[in-house]
Amino acid sequence: MRSELFAATNQEQESAQAGLRLQNSKLLKIELRGEVFARQGAMVAYQGNVQFEAQGSGGIGKFLKQKLTGEGIPLMKMRGEGDVFLADRAADIYLIDLEGPHDGLSINGANVLAFEPTLSWDIKMVQGAGMMSNSGLFNCNFTGRGRIAITTKGTPVVLTVDQPTYADPQAAVCWSTSLQTGYTRADSIGLGTLLGRSTGEAFTMSFNGQGFVVVQPSEEPPGGFIGGSGGGQQAGQDGGVAGMLGGLLGGR
């Protein structure tokens, strides 16, 4: 049998080292020798002796935060020995290695695909968000040593933050936890209107300090006043929850 389908670039990529690696730009291969956490529903194929166990949001504390904030990661634990392939609606996949206690990544939960169990994570209120934005109020913060796979809608740009940097909060995928963040009404810096017309940009997110921010070429529609919690009337009803949770979850 002959076909371009069977080209070497489409064959399973082999490696002697266990862990997370790219099969291609839209498929993650996990050579499982133990445990790995992944987004529920992301598995597209697997080989070997692998068990899948639903994890909710990763513990009762994270579960409660997810229910109240609408943010989090619906997780499954994969354990055993074999090869597992993950994807998320043909989104682009990138690997990030956190290398110790001084590395930290704040990421939109919707962009988390998989991560190694050596990493610690929690749901945190984004510093400076207050009650202003209808997306990105809460993010998932990762720390420690290990590898995480994230997804983006299209090829992103990685901005080095060594001067004041601004991004649409719906396009900002993740950033260094060392950065100071804030939200500004777009009309206060001239973006709200252009020649008397709305630009569609309600808020702009600011980044200061030393680090990086990853911005994707796609603006995800807001999921409600608290990212992912719903829209319209529900968003209004949930608005008060954000303020109530501020003291509970704290800033980064």
Q: How far apart are CA 230 and CA 214, in angstroms?
A: 25
Backbone angles phi, psi at 37, to 5 degrees: -100, 145
Q: Is the dihedral of CA 129, 219, 106, 156 positive or negative?
A: negative
CA distances for 40 relative to 74, 88, 142, 230, angstroms: 6, 10, 18, 20
Q: How many other β-carbons are positioned within 10 Å of the β-carbon of residue 1?
A: 4
Rounded CA-CA distance 196/75 in Å is 46
DSSP 8-class letter at 123: E
pLDDT value, residue 15: 67
Map out the domains of the chain with their CATH numbers.
17-188+201-215 (3.60.160.10)
Entry pTM = 0.76
Identify the pLDDT of residue 102.
Answer: 82
pLDDT in tens, the chain (252 residues): 877 877 877 787 776 678 999 999 999 999 999 999 999 999 999 999 999 998 765 454 555 455 444 456 788 999 999 999 999 999 999 999 999 888 899 998 889 999 999 999 888 888 766 544 444 477 899 999 999 999 999 999 999 999 999 998 889 999 999 999 998 766 555 555 444 444 445 678 899 999 999 999 987 654 333 333 333 333 333 444 444 444 444 443
Q: What pLDDT is recorded for position 186?
A: 60
